[in-house]
Structure 1
Amino acid sequence: MKSIKIYILFVLLGLSGVIQAQDELNHYLVEAAENNPALKASFNKYLAALEKAPQVGTLPDPQLAFAYFIQPVETRNGPQEFRLSATQMFPWFGTLKAKENASIEEAKALYEVFEENKSKLFNEVKANWYNLYFNNKATIITLENIEILNTFKKLAIVKVEAGLVSAVDQYRIEMEIYDLENQLALLKDKQEVLEVSFNNLLNSDEKRLITFPEELWSSDILFTKEAVLDSIQLKNHQLLSIDLQKSALVFKKQAAKKQGAPTFSLGIDYISIGKGDNNLSGKDAIAFPKVGLTIPLYRNKYKSMVQEVIYLETAKDYERADKVNVLETVFENSWKDYRDAHRRIELFDKQLTLARKSLKLLETEYAYVNKNFEEILRMERRLLKYNLELEKARTDKQAAIAFIHYLMGK
């Protein structure tokens, strides 16, 4: 648990350097790092793997044996009563170190799995938060459009009462308002679902008020496309994990080769000798050292162990090549989404400005000349569409940036 808290401190320090505009989001990232159970499980698997190195890098337990002679064996010095022996096995030089290094590399690979899970969690938190932001913004925009339609409705009622226009104008505005109110109800229901999903990522049962900026920040990827691809190949945690797994296999191959070498044993025997009728020397025990050598005669077993590791190394090479291809394909799609969102922001920002100006002119014409009512409704729908599309483009762009950073191992 202490190790987890230390790591979380590093997470907090790492996040403190992010620009202040993202404070609302950073707070939730820190909370997810502290509380998410899947992330904690991944970190504990890494800690468990660290405990394997002392196990495999230590000499085998010494063997103790005790033998009691039910019927003592008579010797020149007297009857043998019992035998006590101790033996320590010693693998071939470097075997234990190779096994320990393999275990350490496997633990490092699991740490990269943890880093991958952390990056994936942060990306999920960001994606969910961006969806919440957009849904919240869509609710506000829909309410604003309902207010606009209510203003036109009041104007239409005045004109209907004055006999200047048909009552159909009033009815058509009311129909538009009902449609928007239905959309508004759906947005509120969707907000509750998104909040539950978001709080589950943070492992929080608390029903909180999730905060958002008035307008989503605008940021760009500060690297060229080629630099991002290079970063993915060098720093992606999935690829780093595969590299470390292959490094562990190198040490496993060394250990397999050394296991085919002789094994030594050193020991000592202690024999207790009682006093017999002819025991005139006064000696009552004999102790003597012993040396053993285990010769691995069945070579096929050890050749097979080495060949197994060689096949696994080849498999890791293919696995890495396949992962690189998959990541490159995923990146290309994300880069396309990023560029597309950037273009849509510029497009809908212009369209929204023109739609607002057009609606203002149409409102003036309807107020004084009683014409272009249908065009007013049409332009109001466009105003709503461009407003929503602009916010969607903003969130899509930041979501694409977050995913590309995840691919880069950030």
Structure 2
Amino acid sequence: MNVKKITLNVLFVLGVVSGMGAQEIRYFFELAETNNPELRALRLRHDLAGEKVNEARALPDTEIGAGVFVSEPETRTGAQVVRFSVRQMLPWFGQITARENFASSMAEVEYLDWVIARRQLRLEVAQAYYRLQALRQQIGILEQQAVLLDSYREVALAAVEAGKASAVDVLRLEIRKNDVTARSQVLENQYESGAFAFFRLINATETAIGFMVTELPGELPEPDPPVLGPHPELEKYDRLFASVAREEVLNRKSAAPKIGLGLDYIPVAERTDMVIPDSGKDIVMPMVSFSFPLFRSPYKSRTRQNEFRQAALEAEENARRNRLEGMLQQAWQGQRSARVRFATLTENSQNTRQAIEILLKNYQTQQADFGDLLEMQEMELKLELERTEAFASYLSQGALVNYLVAQPGL
């Protein structure tokens, strides 16, 4: 599949949780579903399974034969020269319908494989999208920190010129700014690699990406307790149960007799040595045949195999349901924990900002140590970076919850 070249101007808005990036995510979902080669392969497999339904309607091959008598048998009406025959076997009543039903059930399983893969792709796209948001937000925080350190440098220089501070304070600021610049560059590299992986995920080539990042929200809503709904991974087992049941019906129909219809035609040469009634009259012989399995052990074995399949599928379904329910609870609890952590970090960040303002005023009047100011500034930076991570975790866990509880068609 050719890679689609596009120009993307992405607006990442972190201010409103419920509507954050909704339009962009929907666009990326559609783009990924259109371009993803795995989804295309699964769609083709579903189409292939649908064609097998048409194949199931077909009758066995018709047999046509012809033979020449090496030694022509003489009959009262003349010599038999050649023989033509045609045969058609017919399955027992209901066998074709059973084959169609079984093929249709397998096509339904292939369709659910496509639905599951599409939901998993949406989950991967959403989580990668939120990781990129967090990185872009953290880069913005570090850039703001660099600007703030520049303003502190002006304050420190003024204090040094007035003889109220030491030049060591200015050097501390230079060291801190170099550290902030290096951390920002590291995040830029991580963002570039993450963006590359993101566009490979949606199988598109980006030519331009623009971001506008706003402030994080003040608080996050409390997520409601989720309930595992009719998930396609569980619905797939229903289809598999149905396919095994239909396979057993087909097995029983296959054990029934088969009917064969045929016709033999033998041209007869006219007799030249005498004149008799019906001389040279051709022979037409309709035929009916039956075939039935004398040895039924293969069909009995398939019945036992289908019973084993049903039992195995039931155990697999229970295990998968337990796993999905466990994942759902973990995702919900992870989302709640991220919300609590985000609220705590937000409050601590606000308190730290107030402490910084007090220390800055005291420093200007020689009532505070510059090291305390820088330490508190580093604490605020750490809190703000952790806030972005908590916010991204909240959204990422929410995407997983949505994957588990959304309707199968979504």
Aligned to 2:164: 164
Alpha-carbon distance between aligned partners in 1 of 2:225 and 2:349, rounded to the nearest angstrom: 30
Matched residues, number: 388
Question: For 1:87-113, what per-residue CA distance to the aligned partner results, in whole angstroms no more than 9, with x for missing partners?
Answer: 111112212211211111111111111
Alpha-carbon distance between aligned partners in 2 of 1:336 and 1:375, rounded to the nearest angstrom: 37
On the 8 A contact 1:133/1:212 being kept in 2, the answer is no
Aligned with residue 236 of structure 1, among 231, 241, 259: 231
Structure 2: runs of 5 or more not aligned? 2-17
**Structure 2: which amino acid aligns with 1:403?**
L
Matched, 1:102 2:102: yes
On the 8 A contact 2:220/2:339 being kept in 1, the answer is no
Alpha-carbon distance between aligned partners in 2 of 1:216 and 1:28, rounded to the nearest angstrom: 22
Matched, 1:306 2:303: yes
On the 8 A contact 2:266/2:284 being kept in 1, the answer is yes
On the 8 A contact 1:345/1:393 being kept in 2, the answer is yes
Aligned with residue 376 of structure 1, among 370, 373, 376: 373
Alpha-carbon distance between aligned partners in 2 of 1:269 and 1:171, rounded to the nearest angstrom: 109
Alpha-carbon distance between aligned partners in 2 of 1:279 and 1:363, rounded to the nearest angstrom: 135
On the 8 A contact 2:50/2:104 being kept in 1, the answer is yes
Aligned to 1:127: 127
**Higher-helix-fraction structure:** 1
Matches within 5 A, 1:6-25: 22-25=22-25
Question: For 1:176-209, what per-residue CA distance to the aligned partner results, in whole angstroms no more than 9, with x for missing partners?
Answer: 1111111011011111100110010111123331
Matched, 1:330 2:327: yes
3-state SS of 1:165 partner: coil
Alpha-carbon distance between aligned partners in 1 of 2:221 and 2:110, rounded to the nearest angstrom: 32
Aligned to 1:197: 197
On the 8 A contact 2:222/2:336 being kept in 1, the answer is no
Q: Structure 1 residues 162, 320: CA separation in 2 closer, same or farther (over 3 Å shift)? A: same
On the 8 A contact 2:52/2:103 being kept in 1, the answer is yes
Q: Structure 1 residues 395, 306: CA separation in 2 closer, same or farther (over 3 Å shift)? A: same
Matched, 1:407 2:392: no
**Structure 1: which amino acid aligns with 2:232?**
H
Alpha-carbon distance between aligned partners in 1 of 2:362 and 2:26, rounded to the nearest angstrom: 48
Alpha-carbon distance between aligned partners in 2 of 1:201 and 1:134, rounded to the nearest angstrom: 18
Alpha-carbon distance between aligned partners in 2 of 1:93 and 1:390, rounded to the nearest angstrom: 69
- CA drift at 1:313: 1.2
3-state SS of 2:317 partner: helix
Matched, 1:262 2:257: yes
Matches within 5 A, 1:52-71: 52-71=52-71
On the 8 A contact 1:77/1:273 being kept in 2, the answer is yes
- CA drift at 1:21: 5.1
Aligned to 2:153: 153
On the 8 A contact 2:262/2:286 being kept in 1, the answer is yes
Aligned with residue 295 of structure 1, among 288, 292, 295: 292
Aligned to 1:224: 225
3-state SS of 1:163 partner: coil
Alpha-carbon distance between aligned partners in 2 of 1:210 and 1:171, rounded to the nearest angstrom: 35
Alpha-carbon distance between aligned partners in 2 of 1:300 and 1:391, rounded to the nearest angstrom: 66
Q: Name the TM-score, length of structure 2 as normaliser.
A: 0.89
3-state SS of 2:205 partner: coil
Structure 1: runs of 5 or more not aligned? 2-17
Aligned to 2:43: 43
Aligned to 1:246: 241
On the 8 A contact 1:272/1:285 being kept in 2, the answer is yes
Aligned to 1:137: 137
Alpha-carbon distance between aligned partners in 2 of 1:58 and 1:270, rounded to the nearest angstrom: 26
Alpha-carbon distance between aligned partners in 2 of 1:47 and 1:212, rounded to the nearest angstrom: 43
Alpha-carbon distance between aligned partners in 2 of 1:396 and 1:215, rounded to the nearest angstrom: 17
Question: For 1:243-270, what per-residue CA distance to the aligned partner results, in whole angstroms no more than 9, with x for missing partners?
Answer: 2111100000011112111111111111
- CA drift at 1:300: 1.0
On the 8 A contact 2:69/2:80 being kept in 1, the answer is yes
Alpha-carbon distance between aligned partners in 2 of 1:221 and 1:57, rounded to the nearest angstrom: 55
- CA drift at 1:140: 0.5
On the 8 A contact 1:109/1:240 being kept in 2, the answer is no
Alpha-carbon distance between aligned partners in 2 of 1:50 and 1:349, rounded to the nearest angstrom: 55
- CA drift at 1:160: 1.6
On the 8 A contact 1:216/1:395 being kept in 2, the answer is no
- CA drift at 1:123: 0.6
On the 8 A contact 2:137/2:213 being kept in 1, the answer is no
Question: For 1:4-51, what per-residue CA distance to the aligned partner results, in whole angstroms no more than 9, with x for missing partners?
Answer: xxxxxxxxxxxxxx9585112221111111111111111111111111
Aligned to 2:179: 179
Question: For 1:327-384, what per-residue CA distance to the aligned partner results, in whole angstroms no more than 9, with x for missing partners?
Answer: 1222222122111111122212222222222212221111223523222112111211
Alpha-carbon distance between aligned partners in 2 of 1:37 and 1:82, rounded to the nearest angstrom: 58
**Range with bigger deviation, 328-337 or 34-43:** 328-337
3-state SS of 1:71 partner: coil
**Range with bigger deviation, 329-338 or 178-187:** 329-338
Alpha-carbon distance between aligned partners in 1 of 2:176 and 2:42, rounded to the nearest angstrom: 51
Aligned to 1:8: none
Aligned with residue 354 of structure 2, among 353, 357, 367: 357
Question: For 1:116-163, what per-residue CA distance to the aligned partner results, in whole angstroms no more than 9, with x for missing partners?
Answer: 100011111111111111111110000101111111112112212222
**Structure 1: which amino acid aligns with 2:330?**
N
3-state SS of 2:180 partner: helix
On the 8 A contact 1:269/1:288 being kept in 2, the answer is yes
Alpha-carbon distance between aligned partners in 1 of 2:269 and 2:163, rounded to the nearest angstrom: 133
3-state SS of 1:312 partner: helix
On the 8 A contact 1:24/1:212 being kept in 2, the answer is no
3-state SS of 2:204 partner: coil
On the 8 A contact 1:338/1:397 being kept in 2, the answer is yes
Alpha-carbon distance between aligned partners in 1 of 2:46 and 2:315, rounded to the nearest angstrom: 25
On the 8 A contact 2:78/2:279 being kept in 1, the answer is no
Alpha-carbon distance between aligned partners in 2 of 1:74 and 1:335, rounded to the nearest angstrom: 91
- CA drift at 1:58: 2.2
The two structures, once aligned, show a CA RMSD in angstroms of 2.1
**Structure 2: which amino acid aligns with 1:311?**
F
Aligned to 1:393: 390
On the 8 A contact 2:324/2:404 being kept in 1, the answer is yes
3-state SS of 2:85 partner: strand
Matched, 1:274 2:274: no
